[in-house]
Amino acid sequence: MRYKWSINSLAWLFHRITGIVLSFYIIAHIYVLSHLKDPESYNRLMGMMKNPIVKISELGLFAVVLIHVFAGLRVTFLEAGISTKYQKHMAYTGAVFIALVWFIGAVYFLKEVF
């Protein structure tokens, strides 16, 4: 028997994957910040952060955060008692809202990069 993927299972999977990605990111972020002990290393890191490749990768991080937040809101609504017949609508609405917020953020963010 094969498992049939649905929008609900994909929303569940994206929530779990983005949670793992964010966990690794926060560990790396804390590690980097803990090694900034002098102004020279701080200035070197800030110089690296102005690189367009780093800026564009931050857009990826922004997407991961948005996906995780809205998938978490969907789970919260389900736990609060919203009927399961609205799961598919919540997933599609969340996906559209994520795309909209990401696009608006990307336009604003890329204006500063280029």
Domain of 25: which CATH number? 1.20.1300.10
55: which residues sit within 8 A by CB, 6+ positions away?
49, 109, 110, 112, 113
Residue 1 belongs to a domain: no
Indicate the number of domains in the chain: 1
Looking at the domain assignment, is residue 92 inside a domain? yes
d(CA 80, CA 69): 16
Of the pLDDT bands very low, low, confident and very high (cuts 50, 70, 90), residue 1 is low
In a domain, 46, yes or no: yes
Parent domain of 68: 7-113
Polymer length of the chain: 114
Q: Say if 2 falls within a structural domain.
A: no
Give the model confidence (pLDDT) of 28-51 as tens digits: 999 888 888 888 888 888 888 888
pTM above 0.85, yes or no: no
